[in-house]
A and B are shown apart, each in its own frame.
Chain A
Amino acid sequence: MQKLRLLKYVLLLCFTAFSLSTYAQTGNISGKVTDETGQPLPGATVFIKGTNAHAIVGPDGSFKLPANGNITLVIRMIGYQPIERALTINGTLQQDFQLTADTKGLNEVVVVGYGTQKKSDLTGSITAISSKDFNKGPITTPEQLITGRVAGVQISSNGGAPGAGSKIRIRGGSSLNASNDPLIVVDGVPLDNAEVKGASNPLSFINPNDIESFNILKDASATAIYGSRASNGVIIITTKKGKVGQQMHVNFSSIQSISQKEGIVPVLSAGEFRQVVNEHGADAQKALLGSANTNWQDAIYRTAFSTDNNLGISGAAKWLPYRVSVGFTNQNGILKTSSMRRQSADISLSPRLLDDHLKIDLNVRGAITNSRFADQEAINAAVAFDPTQPIHATNAFGNYFEWLDPTTGGAAPYTLATRNPLSMLELKNDKGEVKRSLGNIQFDYKFHFLPELRANLNLGYDVSKTEGRTLVPAYAGNVFNRGGMDKSYSQTRNNKLLDFYLNYAKDLKGIGSRIDVTGGYSYQDFIRTEPAYPDLNAKGDTISAAGVPFKTQNTLVSFFGRLNYTLLDRYLLTVTVRRDGSSRFKQHWGTFPSAALAWRINQESFLKNSKVLSDLKLRIGYGVTGQQDFGGLLTDYPYLPRYTIGDPTAAYQLGSQYYLTLRPEGYDANIRWEETKTYNAGLDFGFLDNRISGSVDYYIKKTKDLLSVIPVAAGSNLTNQLLTNVGNIETKGLEFTLNATPVSTNDFTWDAGFNFTYNTIKITNLTKVKDPAAQGIPIGTISGGTGNTIEIHSVGYAPYSFFVYKQVYKDGKPVEGGYEDLNKDGQITPDDRYRYKSPNPEFLLGFNSQFAYRNWNLGFSIHGSIGNYVYNNASSNNGAYRNFSYENYLANVATSIRETGFAVNQYFSDYYVENASFVRMDNLSLGYSFKHLLKDKVNLRVSGTVSNLFVITGYSGLDPELGNDKVGTTNVGEGIDNKFYPRPRVYSLGVNLDF
């Protein structure tokens, strides 16, 4: 056994060392290399300065190196500050080393588009977050790992549903109707943002435990290399891989958690409701009151248990580093019946061949996600359901209490009434299974005759297959009339990628310069297929015949180039250009250039020897990026005069036959890219060996030719609202990041990170013809009434500005129907509405800290948002006595009625637009590491985490932080609080085992 291990070491050394044989070796040095917390640092290199002699630290942190006499030993590890130590060796020396994390290590290598760069050489605004800085706790989706961690990046989960997706905005987004989601690149494969049916989050197929790092590219000089998809920033996700020379390392982690609801939408209790109906209701309504006391919102939620288990094995078999992992996640939602089960597997192989000239990286990951979706309409139903009625009753609707239609003698539910929320949940079986796999193989070849030249080929795929089915029995109240429901759906996605680039990097010592040139080609193709299914009832009768199946394709072909030029190690220039061709436009091609300069001021002679200042870099950049992603509701062929076939449910009778219709679609033959120009100026700084470090960035983004859906002149096109290039948006902002280690002793360290973002966004033009009287485009559909919208895109205002009446107050109470006559025409008409605030936050805050005391570790992270407003739809839709004035049923009333006393809902009052600024503690985690177990072979870490510990806010509703309001992938509104799946508070216990 011992022999075998030795052999392995020898092999390792042979593999990486050039020569060890020329030295006479009589002594040696051995020891352990660990980080500040005592964790071994496998993969670190130990070498003797001025020689080629070196060793790679093994998985248990140990190394052994032949040495003799007076030497200088250097220990290096990416992400850590190197140590140089002068030693005298006589015979055998045993010495341990501890490396301190270089959180802002300037030698850190950062993954940028199509390559890597040293952090010190960056000219753009890029934030790198590696696994040690990830948020802790029961995190099931990748983006939650970095919530609140990065200045300028807003990540808000779309509620508390299992595996829920998030709204991710980098610098506030730059588009109106086109997507504001950033481009996400996983191991070099850019994902498309199209909806994956049956999955509430397109990223949920990636097991967060497999992620090594996030690199967030924010300004155009960093993102422009991704051209037409880069306007909203780029998030590069790199997964964990095995390392050369690493011994087999096993990591097992397990998290058990309990989720509990944290609050409810404020409505009247049964007693209060009874009193209100008796005071304000008619006799018919009083007669409908029941004798039960039901808290419907308590009834639909539950305490849910979840588990997350992961096993990862990594190492290197001779020349073949590998990592294999499997994950099992079983997450139950607090809304009854909602759950997600994910099985994921990840294999990565990273062979290094031909003396390291050929690097191959193969990644294959797959996940099977099984979800059961709860009917979120039940959330609204529970808010509105009469609390004086019981949950269950003896009847023909599954024994769930339902409001009945008296004209049928109670044989059928009353169709206009609120349905029993428990019935909506428990009788609806809505399941979806998604199988998704993403993989790539990347060849990186360093030419033998010209080692400065590298060729890189990346072949990737992203495929998924979804199958889902919704079953509701015939007796369920909400589908009683149609005899239940049996509806299936499926989807396949098939995306392919080919990237090829050449890179030439050379130091031109004679002129104190270094150049690094990249030129490449990329081809990516996306196909989505969705067959059509009939809509059946529980018996199998066809309610609606199957429609037309859906299939769509789009292709991107690109050429790109980048030049990095460094002069005297302190003047840096980056120029990139990308030429993108998209099948979505008739004029396929667009060109997206960028340039950036950086000046490493601290490398100037007058600062170079400063003991205080360790880093000071000024960056300025400019670039043009594009946008061609206009979401799933719109077509991939917007420039073609298409005729689409109608479904058999939309046929028309001519004679005795029903004809399927052929509809000419509206189109803009000249539609083209949306373009964003970004200006960025930034300053990176570091003091005291970067113990304090940070950066400040100021940016301006100007988007023109917005891909907007705007009203088109009546009679000029084959639709009333057309996707075309109209309008401009301007975003400005300031980002500030500060990371520090205020305390660092042998026993105790405190690391803290703080980030702050100020962002404003304004529409500066939205019409083809200048029209100062133009009101704008209404958006933001609310619950209550049909088709009521509460928001508007208007010139001079932020997108999604609330468009409301100015409420008149008397004695501090809103006067029903009393609005200010803002246009002074003597009457209150819809023209008196004004634009009041918007859901866009003005300031974003993030704060996190890690305290380590010996084996103890305490950490928390907090994020906040200031200046964001929310339309409290739960309150407006339920905040009137009219709620129980309908025939044959009663509906509960929001507690805001106590203040308003409204008889009829005043949907458009600014009373319901509330300041929803908040500060949320995302997690608080306490851990203890048992080190040196089983003869130092095993490390065990136990931790407890509370997620979503508290929210500080003045908002009167359930939760001030809302996610996306989407239909498909198209935003239909923002900041409208309506049937929001509450974020639970989660208590979890985790075990992490390393050996």
Chain B
Amino acid sequence: MMKQYINTWVVAGCVSLALLVSSCTKDLDREPFYDQTSASVYNDFSNYKSILAKLYAGYAISGQQGPAGKPDLTGIDEGFSNYIRQYWSAQELPTDEAVIAWNDGTLPDYHKMTWTSGNEFIKATYDRIFYEIAVCNEFIRETTDDKLSSHNISGNNLEEAKHFRAEARFLRALAYWHALDLFGNVPFSTEKDEVSASFFPPQINRADLFSYIESELKAIDADLVNARQNEYGRADKAAAWTLLAKLYLNAEVYIQQPKYTEAITYCAKVTAAGYALSDEYRKLFLTDNNTSPEIIFPITFDGIHTKTYGGMTFLVHAPVGGSMSAAAFGINGGWAGLRTTKAFVARFPDPSGNTDKRAMFYTNGQNLEINDIFTFADGYAIAKYRNVSSAGVHGSDQTGDFPDTDYPMFRLADVYLMYAEAVLRGGAGGSAATALQYVNDLRTRAYGNTSGNITAGQLTLDFILGERSRELFWEGQRRTDLIRFGKFTGSSYLWPWKGNVKEGKAVDDFRALYPIPAADRTANPNLQQNTGY
């Protein structure tokens, strides 16, 4: 009786187990709890702006958790993986404008100009640029007209989505321009390429990439919001014009063809759009620079909502050391890293800042000479970026870690100087008088009066290079400028520790381009190395 009962029970158990087995295999199709998938995320229009926010944030922060955690890039310290920090370092550290005291891996190789294709910081710069391109590609791919209609996006939402998509294309063009400028011939992928673990993007040559960026920036003009009409932080037509102007100004470097006339055309579009210079130079680098009428395109930061160890956190903390009061910078302490060389200091007739207010040197306890790059006291410090407002109020982060200051990626003064340079270099469509006026506008602001103004005869190309450095120092422009003027490599211009000797020495011309990181050449067999590496 008992046996029979048990046997029946066992048989019943086996049958029900068999049923259970078939239903349990369905449990293998697990879906995430909080994350969405590309199949579902685009059904809800409110998600679009969050994805767009990520494309912008790709320039500002290092991941999905501020200041660190859930990084976008791995294999490098997260603070170092930040876009602005990397781009800034690649543009400023190998020049006369900046040295850094830290003994982090191959970081010192930047200023020594001895980098190799294994340099992890160059790799991080490169990785960050192509990460930005990849996430932009993803959004652009998922927001084609067909896709938008398949997700039932219509009416105002559709209009908005088109602006978003144009902005994504702008952000991608900006990243590709950085790739063009820093690396030259780079892997190329667009929204037409699917995300894959085994796709090897082909290498595009510099000239073709130039054309692609140019055509993209022109193609999105209609869909971008008019100049100065978009929300703060978002790119508008003027941002794209500024980028086109920069592309054309450097065309002789990129494609060995002068495009100064086109540069003037796009500078003029920007200057006609109603921007104005900030009344004081220093205000461009303070927490309330979001109110500046001069900034065309910022990368935004916030002490509470947008935290990173790169970006403005780096630019505010790293230059503070020695006897500098961290509190005066609105932070809890400096990182004792960045200073400048005497070659840059000499660009100002009076380094005290009493004459030209852009001479923002901190000299107390600092030596003008750099005997040891690792010593913070060697080299004048620079007090440009601060986490305080123009009224002296500290930023919102009570810990003093993360600044509110935004990074001025494009600003009117740069456009003024580009206009002047393009005119001097023979571009058509501009006027020498306007060029001189623009330069003197900047000098009047810098001096607080017209005493620093120059004459038409003084406005030479050499003066432009010097003025760009005085006006735009530590704003990520210097390397590109020196290359355009033929002074980055070679021996025509030497600065302390160029080529790893104190007095500076000639550097091979191939260093005007960075190497394609060795790791990507391993990952992608389509890539040829830049000459010289």
Which residues of A are in contact with B by a Cβ distance under 8 Å? 354, 357-358, 405-408, 412, 414-416, 445, 447-449, 455, 457, 481-483, 498, 500, 521, 523, 525, 537, 541, 543-545, 547-555, 557, 581-583, 588, 635-637, 640-656, 658-671, 709-722, 724, 767-769, 771, 773-775, 777-778, 781, 784-789, 827, 829-831, 882, 885-887, 904-905, 907
Contact = CB atoms under 8 A, between A and B. Distances in A.
B336 A416 contact: yes
Nearest to B14: A455
Nearest to A550: B34
Contacts of B520: 711, 713-714
B198 interface: yes
Interface of B: 2-3, 6-7, 10, 13-14, 17, 20-21, 24-25, 27-39, 41, 47, 49-54, 56-57, 60-61, 63-67, 69-70, 72-77, 79-80, 102-107, 109, 114, 116, 118-120, 126-127, 130-131, 133-135, 137-139, 186-189, 193, 195-201, 231-234, 300, 302, 304-307, 321-327, 332-336, 374-377, 398-401, 518-525
A553 B197 CA distance: 24
A658 B104 CA distance: 33
A544 B307 CA distance: 9
A825 B523 CA distance: 25
Contacts of A554: 30
B28 A652 contact: no
Contact of A645 (B35, B116, B231, B307): B35
Given A415-B333, A547-B65, A721 B200 contact: no
Q: Which 5 A-B pairs have the closest CB atoms?
A: A415-B333, A787-B77, A649-B66, A655-B231, A714-B130
Given A445-B10, A555-B27, A651-B306, A668 B525 contact: no
A630 B524 CA distance: 25
9 contacts: A407-B325, A481-B401, A544-B307, A545-B304, A646-B63, A649-B305, A721-B73, A721-B75, A829-B109
Given A415-B333, A448-B6, A649-B304, 18 more contacts: A407-B323, A408-B325, A481-B401, A482-B399, A637-B32, A642-B38, A647-B70, A651-B53, A651-B57, A670-B197, A671-B197, A709-B74, A716-B200, A720-B75, A721-B73, A784-B103, A786-B104, A830-B119
Given A656-B232, A658-B302, A649 B307 contact: yes
Nearest to B139: A664
A904 B323 CA distance: 23
Contacts of B196: 669, 716-717
User: A640, A711, A778 — which one has the most chain B CB atoms within 10 A of its CB?
Assistant: A711
A654 B234 contact: yes
Contacts of A553: 30, 33
Contact of B105 (A482, A541, A544, A787): A787
Given A653-B302, A773-B518, A414 B333 contact: yes
A547 B34 CA distance: 12
A640 B60 CA distance: 26
Contacts of A652: 53-54, 56-57, 60-61, 233, 300, 305-306
B86 to A, nearest CB: 12
B197 A775 contact: no
Nearest to B375: A885
B397 to A, nearest CB: 8
B266 to A, nearest CB: 25
Contacts of A537: 399
A643 B36 contact: yes
Given A407-B323, A722-B197, A831-B116, A711 B523 contact: yes
A714 B376 contact: no
A715 B127 CA distance: 9
A161 to B, nearest CB: 24
Contact of B32 (A541, A640, A711, A767): A640
Given A447-B10, A662-B51, A718 B33 contact: no
A771 B525 contact: yes
A650 B33 contact: no
A640 B30 CA distance: 10
Contact of B77 (A414, A445, A786): A786
Contact of A714 (B13, B187, B232, B377): B187
A713 B524 contact: yes
Q: Please indicate which of the listed interface residues B20, B56, B333 has the most CB atoms of chain A within 10 Å of its own CB.
A: B333
Contact of B36 (A481, A662, A831): A662
Contacts of B300: 652-653
A714 to B, nearest CB: 4
Contact of B523 (A557, A645, A714): A714
A351 to B, nearest CB: 14
A569 B321 CA distance: 81
Contacts of A548: 34
B21 A521 contact: yes
A649 B67 contact: yes
B78 to A, nearest CB: 8
Given A650-B64, A719-B72, A773-B518, A714 B399 contact: no
A711 B399 contact: no
Given A500-B17, A541-B398, A785-B103, A643 B37 contact: yes
Given A447-B7, A654-B56, A661-B53, A785 B197 contact: no
Contacts of B195: 641, 666-667, 716-718
A521 B17 contact: yes
Contacts of B374: 882, 885, 904
Contacts of B36: 642-643, 662
